[in-house]
Structure 1
Amino acid sequence: MKVLFAASEAVPFAKTGGLADVIGSLPKELVRQGMDVRVILPKYGEIPAHFKEKMETVATFTLQMGWRHLYCGILKLEHEGITFYFVDHENYFLRSGCYGYNDDAERFAFFCRAVLDCIPHIDFMPDVIHCHDWQTGMVPVLYRAHFSYQPEYAHIKTVLTVHNLKYQGVFGQEQFMDFFTLGPEHFGGFALELHGGASFLKGGLLYSDVITTVSPTYAQEIQTPYFGENLDGLLKSQRHRLHGIVNGIDYEEMDPMTDPHLEVNYRDSIIKKQLNKTKLQEKLGLPVNKDIPMIGIVTRLVEQKGLSLVAHVIEELMELDAQWVILGTGEYQYEQLFRWAADRYPDKMSAHITFNEKMARQIYAGSDMFLMPSQFEPCGIGQLIAMRYRSVPIVRETGGLKDTVIAYDDETGIGTGFSFSYYNAHDMLYTVNRAVKLYNEPLVWSKILSNIKKKDFSWRKSALQYASLYNQLVK
């Protein structure tokens, strides 16, 4: 089975969010299961130099995009057993960051074309092209329009994974006609038209052979108007080929036993975990006390992450017998909220309006609980890392949070965390308060940690589901 992952970012080359973690780790697990999986990415300017130095050019050719005849280079690099290809065109990709430019439509149109045009040049004919998010959404459209009738390409199947439906790659219809050489029949009625323009993502949803999302609950949610981002009708009509497969995490990369960022490495030792907490308290200037629960938040500070709930009851949260550590950047109002709270309650909160991977790992290791009250969450990775580091998640029951965190039941002793269902600040406050109280019951807390210990959030199970999907497609 030969699978080509097409994506706009991947760890360790370029990252803006959870997509990069998936592309950096899922292929490794699929390879362990006997597949030949390779990844194709844009060659961004910010890819670290030590990776660029090891890349070798495998092909250069002229790519036609509308009336343009453009240089396209393909470079190759082996990393952790995976072959990565990089699409080189300096005018499009030799810039800072990955997205947010006025010509993003043209940049990722070029990338979509390059994914298909490079195949004869790289000595790799895939059985499946697995596309991720809007930046590669037009690959299935181009395949159907220009490649599927060619004998050497005819066997290829396409999969589109939606990591976040909110981002749809909507641009002007005239740009799509130009860049992709598509006629007006592609834009009327049940076609690429969206919000008066046209959408990369909608193209992928319509033209791929299979659609997946990153959790079973999110696959159901996006078929409803509240979560569907104006595509719920389309998704509901395509539910026969829509699958939800929950994300995993890289257990080798995310391992408190070997993590070089931690003060004390550990697996299930509560004593060693508490040493990480007291070291963190000392470092952050919080009162050093192993018995007071520490609640961590590591996130983008944006509305989606449920921070309006935190804002609504911030003073009540500060009255709880707990400490808080915040790490992240985002919307000004939430950055200011946490700066204000840290200034007013210096013994209760430490806020860091930045992002730092070392500090993030230390928060996972030092915190007793990890709060994710998201408005919506396609999968979520924070709760998975938290449980790997034995920090008990407190989440809202949405998307992947609902699929991965089992609410603790006092009567049965079953559960791996705490959850609330309604998007309501006082429901969240009640749930956090309950978690803080149960932290002070050692038998209960050790039971929750024991339950977490039995869970496997590595990529193994999810990779098996992807492998099964690929096999069904190819057969």
Structure 2
Amino acid sequence: MKILFAASEAVPFVKTGGLADVIGSLPKELAGQGLDVRVILPKYEDIPARFTEQMETIATFTVRMGWRQQYCGILKLVHEGIPFYFIDNEMYYRRKGCYGYGDDAERFAFYCLAVLEALPHIGFMPDVIHCHDWQAGMIPVLYRVHYSWRDDYAELKTMMTVHNLKYQGVFGQEQFRDFFSLGDEHFGGYALEFSGGASFMKGGLLYSDLITTVSPTYAEEIQTPYYGEHMDGLLRSQKDRLYGIVNGIDYNELNPLTDPHLEVNYSDSADLKRRNKVKLQERLGLPVNRNAPMIALVTRLVDQKGFPLIERVIEELLSLDAQWVILGTGEPRYEQLFRWAADRFPAKLSANITFDEALARQIYAGSDLFLMPSQFEPCGIGQLIAMRYLSVPIVRETGGLKDTVFAYNEATGKGTGFSFAHYNAHDMLHTVERAVRLYNDPVVWKRLWANILAQDFSWRQSAEQYAALYEQLAYFPAAGDRE
């Protein structure tokens, strides 16, 4: 089968979050299972020169956006066996960063139109366009309205994956009418209208053939008002075609036995892992102590990640017999919180308000515990990487955290981490206290490591589930026959 991933970012070209990790790794596993998988992205200015210098222009044409005729170039680069296509328009993409501009509606409207227009030019008509998050959400709408009647497009199917429902691509209805040449029938009632405007995400959910999201628990959660971001009713109505498939990680790229960023490579050696902790303590200026548990947070410093809970009990957390290391950037409130904590407790906490991939790997390798007290977490990548590096996770039971981390049971010896159910600061504190206490029990820690090592968080099983859905789509009637 031929699959085209449409997404706004992918490792190693450009990354703002976990979406990029998925798009950079899942296609390789699908290709290994025999599918012809390709990826199409915007050509951002931030893509490193070592990649742009290898790109080949394979097509140029114009894209009609309402009354506009816009230039579009398609460049191609094969990376690790996967063909990547890059949509080039300097007016939209020759600027720093991916998102956050006043014309984002127009930039990603152009992207969605260009993806569909590009197919004949690149000589690749997929069986399925797999659209990821709101930036690609209008592709299923445009296909259904403007392309499904064309013979060369007639058998194409679309899938929409929600990586984070909080981001919905809501803009003015007049922009949708203008950019996409859509009439009133696509806005009233059960259509694109949302909160007085219109939504890219809603379009993808309603007009695609199948919907997936990035964990089974999140698929259930987003059908409730608390997690549904005002789309819970819509998602309940679509529950028969909504699937949750947990994300994986690239086991070749994320491997403590071969990771070039580590001071000491290891697989299941406690001694070698502790040597990484000592090196990390030395680098960060923390007291060298092999026996004190080191607790890590590598994340965006935003409300979603549970930082209001940490803020509420930070002095109690720092009174524990443990060291803390923070890596990430985000809201100034939390950046300042950790700078203050590092100044007040310099022997207990290292605050690294930056993003550094090499340091992140060293923190995964050097830490003993990894805290993710998220308010909501569609899947989460941090806990999967932490377990790959044998850093035991402490999580709130939500979304993919609930699906991938199983609470340690002292009676049975089963479990891969520590968890708490309620979004409550003291529930989190008590769970961290328990983890620190059990760290000092070598029998417990040996069991936890054995349980983690028995898990498989590679993409293999998840890719098989995606492949099964693509196969299922092959038997769907063509769009024109469904009207």
Report the residue type matching 2:203 in the other structure: G
1:14-413 paired onto structure 2 within 5 Å: 14-413=14-413
1:419 corresponds to:
419
Paired with 1:70 and 1:359, the residues of 2 have a C-alpha distance of 42
| Secondary structure of the structure 1 residue equivalent to 2:423 | coil
* Over 6 Å off, 4+ runs: none
2:479 corresponds to:
none
Q: TM-score, normalised by structure 1?
A: 1.00
Quote the offset at 1:62 in angstroms. Answer: 1.2
2:471 corresponds to:
471
Paired with 1:374 and 1:355, the residues of 2 have a C-alpha distance of 19
Paired with 2:431 and 2:62, the residues of 1 have a C-alpha distance of 59
| Secondary structure of the structure 1 residue equivalent to 2:220 | helix
| Secondary structure of the structure 2 residue equivalent to 1:198 | strand
Quote the offset at 1:230 in angstroms. Answer: 0.3
Paired with 2:75 and 2:472, the residues of 1 have a C-alpha distance of 31
1:435 corresponds to:
435
| Secondary structure of the structure 1 residue equivalent to 2:71 | strand
Report the residue type matching 1:195 in the other structure: S
Paired with 1:46 and 1:336, the residues of 2 have a C-alpha distance of 28
Quote the offset at 1:50 in angstroms. Answer: 1.1
Out of 62-71 and 457-466, give the one that drifted further: 62-71
Paired with 2:286 and 2:55, the residues of 1 have a C-alpha distance of 46
Quote the offset at 1:241 in angstroms. Answer: 0.3
Count of residues paired in the alignment: 475
Report the residue type matching 1:429 in the other structure: L
Quote the offset at 1:120 in angstroms. Answer: 0.4
Report the residue type matching 1:340 in the other structure: W
Report the residue type matching 1:291 in the other structure: N
Report the residue type matching 2:290 in the other structure: K
Paired with 2:326 and 2:160, the residues of 1 have a C-alpha distance of 34
Q: Report the aligned-residue RMSD.
A: 0.5
Report the residue type matching 2:316 in the other structure: E
Quote the offset at 1:340 in angstroms. Answer: 0.7
Paired with 1:118 and 1:332, the residues of 2 have a C-alpha distance of 41
Report the residue type matching 2:127 in the other structure: D
Report the residue type matching 1:395 in the other structure: V
Quote the offset at 1:190 in angstroms. Answer: 0.6
| Secondary structure of the structure 2 residue equivalent to 1:118 | helix
Report the residue type matching 1:310 in the other structure: I
Quote the offset at 1:347 in angstroms. Answer: 0.7
Report the residue type matching 1:34 in the other structure: G
Quote the offset at 1:343 in angstroms. Answer: 0.6
| Secondary structure of the structure 2 residue equivalent to 1:280 | helix
Deviations 1:50-70 (A, max 9, x none): 111110011001111100011
Can you give the 5+ residue segments of structure 2 that lack an aligned partner in the other structure?
Answer: 476-483
Quote the offset at 1:71 in angstroms. Answer: 0.7
| Secondary structure of the structure 2 residue equivalent to 1:14 | coil
Paired with 1:313 and 1:57, the residues of 2 have a C-alpha distance of 55
Report the residue type matching 2:403 in the other structure: D
Quote the offset at 1:96 in angstroms. Answer: 0.4
Report the residue type matching 1:280 in the other structure: L
Quote the offset at 1:285 in angstroms. Answer: 1.1
| Secondary structure of the structure 2 residue equivalent to 1:152 | helix
Paired with 1:142 and 1:407, the residues of 2 have a C-alpha distance of 45
Quote the offset at 1:152 in angstroms. Answer: 1.3
Can you give the 5+ residue segments of structure 1 that lack an aligned partner in the other structure?
Answer: none
Report the residue type matching 1:182 in the other structure: L
Identity score, percent: 75
Report the residue type matching 1:20 in the other structure: A
Paired with 1:272 and 1:81, the residues of 2 have a C-alpha distance of 34
Paired with 1:183 and 1:243, the residues of 2 have a C-alpha distance of 31
Paired with 2:53 and 2:28, the residues of 1 have a C-alpha distance of 23
Paired with 2:48 and 2:330, the residues of 1 have a C-alpha distance of 24
Q: TM-score, normalised by structure 2?
A: 0.98
Report the residue type matching 1:249 in the other structure: I
